[in-house]
């Protein structure tokens, strides 16, 4: 009779260990994810020369990452994100030569359903998130007038994410949310474009039913934008008002903002309008934007495209853009591409 008893006891122990392992696994998770965007097309910047070929990230910058959470009990969780950009046409990491491995996000923090989330490290700014959220082309550096006008036209400074930063995001309260971000002062340097200031920003937003809106402000005195020459880096103060309404047959977007460059004493007024129209298994995307500086030439950009979903994770697209800067020859681009999410 001893052997059946021992066998029964062993099975009970194994069941207990399996339940404990399952419980531990259920309390923590790690997710690998990413997106690869490749296209073929042609582009010409205002006043520039035409380039034709295969490109990575024209509609969405190719990227990969890991995110995870551990349940600490009492509604509190530990969270982390490690995300990097990818040049899929060459296999190189980053957005450009010299970009860091996890330049998209590298953060760790604590999250509570009732208190919100606080993360430390390299955090994406509220200005970038609102710009992405309130235009039909999302985070397209290639074709979104909004992204191009705020982040590649010499207006706002500071990059789309900040090093040495703390980011707080509130919980949703009746559709309202708010957030704060701050980045520590840079180490003193005598190099061109160096600053010993600090960055900070704040945002408040609402999303309820078909209506969404957001107001964002940021001040940059520590410019980390490595994609532009040090000579044009500057201290800036930016505010942006956003709105969107989903009429079902069309979702309309609007943005208005101003960037005050205190280094060169110039102000840029940025206006953006857009629409996303569901058609079949995809949608027609249309956007117009204008940069009107106090001093210097205006810039007007118009983009039109169609994005077709082959599945929940894969889509194909065709997009064209006209980009005009006063006193320069017209810029224009077109791309046909495919995106896959994993």
pLDDT (tens digit per residue) in 65-75: 999 999 999 99
Q: Which domain CATH number covers 265? A: 2.40.160.10
Burial 309-320 (b: 16+ CB within 10 A, else e): eeeeeebebebe
Mean pLDDT of 66-86: 97
Q: Give residue 9's pLDDT.
A: 46
Quick check: is 69 in a domain?
no
Q: How does DSSP classify residue 184? A: P
Which structure tokens are listed for 3? 């052997």
Query: What phi-psi label fits residue 89: left (phi over 0), alpha (psi between -120 and 50 degrees) or beta?
Result: alpha
Q: Fill in the DSSP letter of residue 188.
A: P
3-state helix, strand, coil in the chain (%, to 5): 15, 55, 35
Q: Does residue 100 surpass a pLDDT of 60? A: yes
∠ at Cα 289 (286, 292), nearest 5°?
170
No. of H helices and E strands in the chain? 3, 18
Q: Is residue 336 part of a domain?
A: yes
For residues 15 and 256, what is the distance between their CA atoms, to the nearest angstrom? 60
* Predicted confidence (pLDDT) at residue 243 exceeds the cutoff of 50: yes
Instruction: Considering only CA atoms, give the Rg of the chain.
Output: 23
Structural domain boundaries, residue 333: 114-341
Average pLDDT over every residue of 236-247: 98
- What confidence tens digit (pLDDT) does each residue in 256-265 have? 999 999 999 9
Residue 80 lies in a domain: no
Q: What's the number of CA atoms in the CB half-sphere (13 Å) around residue 23?
A: 8
Mean pLDDT over all residues of the chain? 90
Q: Residue 24: helix, strand or coil by DSSP?
A: helix
Domain membership flag for residue 150: yes
Confidence of residue 60 (pLDDT cuts 50, 70, 90): very high
Count of domains observed in the chain: 1
Q: What pLDDT, on a 0 to 100 scale, did the predictor assign at position 208?
A: 96
Task: Please report whether residue 51 resides in a domain.
Answer: no
> Which backbone phi and psi does 146 adopt, to 5 degrees?
-60, -50
pLDDT at residue 12, as a whole number:
47
Tokens of 247: 């009429």
Taking residues 267-290, report their average pLDDT: 98
How are beta strands 76-87 and 92-93 bridged, if at all?
antiparallel
What's the pLDDT at 186? 66
The pLDDT score that the predictor gives to residue 222 is 81
Question: Residue for token digits 């509570």?
Answer: 112
CB-based burial of residue 282 (10 Å sphere; 0-12 exposed, 13-18 middle, 19+ buried)?
middle
Residue 335 lies in a domain: yes
286-327 confidence digits (pLDDT tens): 999 999 999 999 999 999 999 999 999 999 999 999 999 999
- Cβ-based neighbours of 22, under 8 Å, separated by 6 or more: none
Statement: residue 239 has pLDDT above 70: yes
Residue 55, pLDDT > 70, answer yes
Alpha helices in 156-249, H assignment, sequence order: none
- For the chain, the distance separating the N- and C-terminal CA atoms, rounded to the nearest angstrom, is 55
Query: Is residue 21 in a domain?
Result: no
Q: State the number of CA atoms in the 13 A half-sphere of 191 facing the CB.
A: 11
- Measured CA distances, 260 to 23, 217, 237 (Å): 53, 11, 5
pTM above 0.85, yes or no: yes
d(CA 61, CA 63): 6
pLDDT at 182: 97
State the pLDDT at residue 65.
98
Task: For 8-18, write each residue's pLDDT tens digit.
Answer: 444 444 444 34
Q: What is the pLDDT of residue 191?
A: 43
Across the range 264-290, mean pLDDT stands at: 98
Residue 232: the pLDDT is: 53
Is 47 part of any domain?
no
Residue 20 confidence (pLDDT): 42
Give the range among 62-71, 195-204, 282-291 with minimum mean pLDDT. Answer: 195-204
Is pLDDT above 90 for 212? yes
Per cent of the chain over pLDDT 90 is 83
Residue 197: predicted pLDDT: 82
CA distance 221 to 7: 69
pLDDT of residue 185: 82
Q: Are the C-beta atoms of residues 178 and 170 closer than 8 Å to each other?
A: yes
Cα–Cα distance measured from residue 3 to residue 208, given in angstroms and rounded to the nearest whole number: 64
Q: Residues 222-245: what's their mean pLDDT? A: 77
């Amino acid at each position: 009779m001893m052997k059946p008893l021992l066998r029964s006891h062993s099975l009970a122990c194994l069941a207990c260990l399996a339940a404990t392992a399952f419980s531990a696994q259920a309390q923590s998770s790690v997710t690998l994810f990413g997106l690869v965007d490749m296209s073929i097309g042609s582009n010409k910047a205002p006043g520039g020369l035409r380039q034709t070929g295969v490109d990575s990230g024209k509609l969405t910058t190719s990227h990969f990452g890991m995110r995870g959470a551990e349940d600490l009990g009492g509604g509190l969780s530990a969270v982390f994100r490690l995300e990097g950009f990818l040049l899929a046409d060459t296999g190189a990491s980053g957005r450009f030569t010299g970009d860091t491995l996890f330049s998209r996000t590298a953060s760790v923090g604590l999250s509570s359903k009732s208190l919100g989330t606080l993360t430390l490290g390299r955090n994406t700014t509220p200005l970038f998130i609102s710009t992405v959220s309130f235009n039909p082309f999302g985070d397209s550096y290639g074709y979104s007038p909004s992204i191009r006008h705020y982040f590649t036209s010499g207006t706002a400074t500071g990059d789309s994410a900040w090093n040495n930063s703390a980011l707080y995001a509130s919980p949703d309260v009746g559709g309202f949310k708010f957030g704060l971000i701050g980045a520590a002062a840079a180490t003193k340097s005598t190099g061109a474009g160096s600053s010993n200031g600090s960055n900070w920003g704040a945002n408040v937003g609402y999303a309820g039913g078909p209506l969404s809106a957001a107001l964002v402000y940021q001040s940059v005195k520590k410019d980390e934008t490595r994609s532009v020459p040090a000579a044009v880096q500057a201290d800036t103060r930016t505010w942006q008002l956003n709105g969107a309404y989903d009429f079902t047959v069309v979702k309309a977007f609007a943005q208005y903002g101003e960037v005050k460059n205190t280094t060169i004493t110039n102000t840029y007024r940025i206006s953006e309008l857009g629409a996303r129209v569901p058609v079949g298994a995809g949608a027609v995307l249309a956007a117009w934007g204008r940069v009107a500086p106090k001093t210097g030439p205006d810039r007007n950009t118009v983009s039109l495209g169609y994005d077709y979903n082959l599945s929940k994770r894969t889509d194909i697209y065709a997009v064209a853009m006209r980009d005009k800067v006063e006193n320069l020859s017209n810029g224009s681009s077109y791309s046909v591409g495919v995106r896959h999410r994993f």
